[in-house]
């Protein structure tokens, strides 16, 4: 089977790879659609994301959907031919973090398409992928595979929203209008946010955000003056989600949030130390919370997609065949033109 294999920064090859053996609880999938994520882009263009560095060939991809091709002897959750969204992560279920209900913080977590551990955990950008049955979430025939591939990033957004607590009636700011920022915005609206603002350095994703329901947008490419004026006039945002992955975004969040407000950091900042206006956290009693991947919300994300409770279609801007995987990565980085680019397998 053919797979996209990343050997180093900007060195993506389509290679033949052997099929993995099928264990009793395994499911072999015919992968049909894979969304390119910001972290895939970091691996592709820089050979790393934050502190995770590619040290051996890596099949990227953790946002994918497909059809069940073959099932192991003990599998009863799915059957061949079924269409499934794939949760790229699985946790051990018995470590202290798992036992307190925080599976995304599992000490023995497995997450596909990630170089966070060595050997790396291979991803889903391949014609076939072998996953555990518990990672498969069946979906009806009506939902296109490309939309199904949004289950993972939507899970990230639902988890981030949940980290902020009750959003009903809240004034919310999202810094960074990439796919995760947009999905967080949609999730916050679904959760009852009364006012939604977004920032970015580019106009195109902000225009998309307004089309999807943002009340106000700020291009902070030339500075955060207008944003902070607006925030000051309303007494600060109740909740800010930092989804830009830049320390400037995190600092803007700390400046724009009200005293006693909540900042949720979703974005992955560059590796190493980051200058942060930490005294504001103290003097204004800001709750700074991390949101990493997602907990037990994958099934909720699948339901949201299937019932279109959250309509992600405006985010889907590009489709490429596997033969043009490198072009797909280049397109995904072009934020003037694209929000989410999907590879078809
Ligand atoms: Zn992702
Ligand atoms: Zn665990």
Q: State residue 271's pLDDT score.
A: 79
**pLDDT tens across 258-296, in order?**
999 999 999 988 878 889 999 999 999 999 999 999 999
| CA 37 to centroid of ligand 1, rounded, Å | 4
Average pLDDT of the residues in 130-139? 97
Q: Which ligand is nearest to the CA of 268?
A: 1
Only one residue has tokens 């006012």, namely 195
Q: Which ligand is nearest to the CA of 93?
A: 2
Report which of 35, 120, 19, 117 is spatially closest to residue 70, judged by C-alpha positions.
19
Contact 261, 238 (CB under 8 A): yes
| CA 84 to centroid of ligand 1, rounded, Å | 17
- Residues near ion ligand 2 (CB < 5 Å) are 91-92, 95, 98, 106
| CA 280 to centroid of ligand 1, rounded, Å | 30
Per the structure block, which two tokens stand in for 314?
């405006």
Band of residue 50 on the pLDDT scale cut at 50, 70, 90: confident
| CA 292 to centroid of ligand 2, rounded, Å | 15
| CA 94 to centroid of ligand 2, rounded, Å | 5
Q: Looking at the predicted structure, is the pLDDT value of residue 303 above 90?
A: yes
| CA 109 to centroid of ligand 2, rounded, Å | 6
Q: How far apart are CA 145 and CA 139, in angstroms?
A: 10
Q: Looking at the predicted structure, is the pLDDT value of residue 49 above 90?
A: no
Contact 72, 21 (CB under 8 A): no
Contact 163, 287 (CB under 8 A): no
**pLDDT tens across 68-107, in order?**
999 999 999 999 999 999 999 999 999 999 999 999 999 9
| CA 56 to centroid of ligand 1, rounded, Å | 20
Average pLDDT of the residues in 26-31? 98
| CA 38 to centroid of ligand 1, rounded, Å | 6
CB atoms near residue 140 (< 10 Å): 7
| CA 236 to centroid of ligand 1, rounded, Å | 30
Q: State residue 62's pLDDT score.
A: 97
For residue 119, say if its preceding peptide bond is cis, omega within 30 degrees of 0. Answer: yes
Q: How far apart are CA 36 and CA 62, in angstroms?
A: 8
Q: According to the CATH classification, is domain 157-290 in 1.10.357.10?
A: no
Per the structure block, which two tokens stand in for 206?
């902000």
Q: Which ligand is nearest to the CA of 149?
A: 1
Q: Which ligand is nearest to the CA of 91?
A: 2
Q: Which ligand is nearest to the CA of 92?
A: 2
Q: Which ligand is nearest to the CA of 102?
A: 2
List of E strands, the chain: 2-8, 11-16, 26-35, 48-49, 52-53, 64-71, 83-86, 89-90, 110-111, 128-132, 136-138, 171-175, 195-200, 216-219, 237-242, 257-265, 287-290, 316-321, 340-344
Average pLDDT of the residues in 3-32? 95
| CA 333 to centroid of ligand 2, rounded, Å | 34
Domain boundaries defined on the chain = 2-150+312-344, 157-290
How far from 181 is each of 125, 289, 331, CA to CA, in Å?
23, 16, 19
Per DSSP, helices labelled H in the chain are 38-46, 96-99, 145-148, 151-163, 179-190, 203-211, 225-233, 247-256, 278-283, 298-306, 325-333
| CA 153 to centroid of ligand 1, rounded, Å | 5
Q: Looking at the predicted structure, is the pLDDT value of residue 334 above 90?
A: yes
Query: What CATH number is given for 2-150+312-344 in this structure?
Result: 3.90.180.10
**High-pLDDT (> 90) share of the chain, %:** 96
| CA 15 to centroid of ligand 1, rounded, Å | 23
Q: Looking at the predicted structure, is the pLDDT value of residue 242 above 90?
A: yes
């Amino acid at each position: 089977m053919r797979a996209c294999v990343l050997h180093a920064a900007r060195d993506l090859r389509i290679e033949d790879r052997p099929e993995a053996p099928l264990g009793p609880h395994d499911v072999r999938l015919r992968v049909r659609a894979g969304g390119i994520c910001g972290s895939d882009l970091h691996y592709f263009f820089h050979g790393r994301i934050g502190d995770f560095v590619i040290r051996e060939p890596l099949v990227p991809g953790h946002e994918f959907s497909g059809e069940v091709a073959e099932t192991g002897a003990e599998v009863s959750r799915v059957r061949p031919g079924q269409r499934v969204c794939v949760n790229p992560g699985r946790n051990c279920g018995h470590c202290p973090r798992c036992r307190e209900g925080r599976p995304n913080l599992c000490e023995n977590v497995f997450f596909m398409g990630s170089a966070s551990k060595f050997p790396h955990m291979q991803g889903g950008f391949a014609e076939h992928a072998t996953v555990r049955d518990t990672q498969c979430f069946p979906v009806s025939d009506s939902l296109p595979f490309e939309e199904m591939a949004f289950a993972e990033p939507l899970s990230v957004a639902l988890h981030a929203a949940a980290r902020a607590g009750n959003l009903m009636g809240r004034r919310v700011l999202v810094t960074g209008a990439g796919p995760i920022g947009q999905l967080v915005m949609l999730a916050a609206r679904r959760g009852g946010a009364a006012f939604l603002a977004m920032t970015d350095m580019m106009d195109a994703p902000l225009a998309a955000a307004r089309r999807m329901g943002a009340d106000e947008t700020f291009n902070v490419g030339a500075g955060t003056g207008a944003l902070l004026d607006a925030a000051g006039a309303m007494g600060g945002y109740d909740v800010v989600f930092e989804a830009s992955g830049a320390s400037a975004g995190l600092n803007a969040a700390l400046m724009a949030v009200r005293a006693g407000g909540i900042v949720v950091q979703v974005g992955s900042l560059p590796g190493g130390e980051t200058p942060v206006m930490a005294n504001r956290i103290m003097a204004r009693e800001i709750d700074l919370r991390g949101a990493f991947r997602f907990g037990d919300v994958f099934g909720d994300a699948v339901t949201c997609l299937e019932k279109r409770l959250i309509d992600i279609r405006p985010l889907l801007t590009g489709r490429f065949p596997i033969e043009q995987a490198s072009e797909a990565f280049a397109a995904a980085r072009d934020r003037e033109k694209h929000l989410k680019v999907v590879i078809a397998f």
